[in-house]
């Protein structure tokens, strides 16, 4: 298990720059508890503005929800890792299921993006997770382990220590999702740790997080009962108050470990 616990939110396709600043000022006014690192992934449009609201030394990192794998110029509409770094990103989410399933991002693209993020010295937040049908067929552990293996395929062993992994079962995400229970999550987290070790000669990831319908109601149970190194929150992170509450729940767990 990682020494540090992580708790972050992706705003997905929400918030104007003004709304993003208001959230960031409220969150950055409160210190992140010892033993915890927090992060927020605004849309690209608000990244620099949000970064500008976080005082130096505050343990709220800022990241991007995606970045292109190429360093070449000819990719109309895309944003490179270098550009999100320039806007203030410390980390970059890669391979969210909304991109894999809704935008056709395949394993090869995910692996290239992980490689590009590491090349630029930022932390990849690799998302993996099975659709409902795969879970129902009992194939979820193998499915997720295979996603991890292929996503890390272009990294050297030492680079794997800088990768965050988020297990996000597709059936648990979003307003139509059914929240997972810690016992649904724990075996997959263990399998992710094994898959990381197998693909990188015994190396471990920076952290293995859980995401999917995390709220104030289930955050403590999930962080204490699923063997995770933290939580990756969607909707429940979109208001500053709710995000701060979840951060402090994770902080209390960090203090108890
Ligand atoms: P949710 O989103 O917490 O709103 O279910 C989680 C995610 O997609 O990361």
- Residues 81-131: tens digit of each pLDDT: 999 999 999 999 999 999 999 999 999 999 999 999 999 999 999 999 999
Going from the Cα of 109 to the center of ligand 1, the distance in angstroms, rounded, reads 22
The whole-chain average pLDDT of the chain stands at 97
Q: Is 66 helix (H, G, I), strand (E, B) or coil?
A: coil
5-254 CATH, one of 3.20.20.70, 3.40.190.10, 2.40.420.20, 3.40.50.1820: 3.20.20.70
Per-residue pLDDT at 256 = 85
Query: Which entry of 93, 130, 168, 253 is annotated as an active-site residue?
Result: 168
The pair of three-digit structure tokens given for residue 105, joined into one six-digit string: 């991002």
Going from the Cα of 170 to the center of ligand 1, the distance in angstroms, rounded, reads 9
Give 50-73 pLDDT, tens digit per residue: 999 999 999 999 999 999 999 999
C-beta separation of 66 from 94 below 8 A: yes
Per-residue pLDDT at 255 = 86
What are the extents of the domains in the chain? 5-254
CA distances from 116 to 14, 89, 102, 113, 150 (A): 26, 14, 22, 5, 15
Give 216-245 pLDDT, tens digit per residue: 999 999 999 999 999 999 999 999 999 999
CA 103, CA 98: separation in Å to the nearest integer? 7
Q: Please give the model's pTM, rounded to 2 decimal places.
A: 0.98
Query: Which entry of 68, 93, 96, 105 is annotated as an active-site residue?
Result: 96
Going from the Cα of 102 to the center of ligand 1, the distance in angstroms, rounded, reads 15
Q: State whether the beta carbon of 10 lies less than 6 angstroms from ligand 1.
A: yes
Task: Give the helix/strand (H/E) hosting 41.
Answer: strand 36-41
CA 190, CA 223: separation in Å to the nearest integer? 14
- Would residue 168 show up in a list of annotated catalytic residues for this protein? yes
| pLDDT of 2 over the 80 cut | no
Per-residue pLDDT at 120 = 97
| pLDDT of 1 over the 70 cut | no
C-beta separation of 156 from 110 below 8 A: no
Pinpoint the alpha helices (H) of 78-154: 81-86, 97-102, 107-119, 132-136, 140-151
């Amino acid at each position: 298990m990682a020494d540090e616990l992580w708790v972050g939110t992706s705003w997905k396709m929400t918030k104007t720059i003004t709304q993003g600043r208001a959230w960031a000022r409220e969150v950055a006014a409160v210190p992140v508890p010892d033993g915890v690192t927090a992060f927020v992934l605004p849309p690209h449009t608000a990244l620099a503005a949000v970064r500008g609201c976080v005082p130096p030394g505050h343990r709220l990192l800022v990241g991007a929800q995606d970045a292109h794998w190429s360093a070449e110029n000819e990719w109309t509409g895309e944003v490179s890792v270098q550009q999100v770094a320039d806007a203030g990103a410390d980390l970059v989410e890669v391979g969210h299921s909304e991109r894999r399933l809704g935008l056709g991002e395949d394993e090869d693209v995910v692996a290239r993006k992980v490689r590009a993020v590491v090349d630029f010295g930022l932390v990849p937040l690799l998302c993996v997770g099975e659709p409902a049908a795969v879970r129902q067929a009992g194939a979820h552990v193998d499915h997720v382990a295979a996603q991890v293996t292929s996503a890390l395929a272009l990294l050297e062993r030492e680079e794997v220590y800088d990768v965050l992994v988020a297990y996000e079962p597709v059936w648990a995400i979003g307003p139509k999702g059914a929240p997972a229970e810690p016992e649904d999550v724990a075996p997959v987290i263990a399998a992710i740790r094994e898959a990381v070790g197998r693909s990188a000669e015994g190396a471990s990831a920076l952290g293995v997080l859980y995401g999917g319908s995390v709220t104030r109601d289930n955050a403590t149970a999930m962080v204490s009962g699923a063997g995770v190194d933290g939580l990756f929150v969607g909707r429940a992170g979109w208001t500053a108050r709710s995000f701060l509450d979840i951060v402090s729940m994770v902080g209390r767990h960090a203090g108890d470990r």
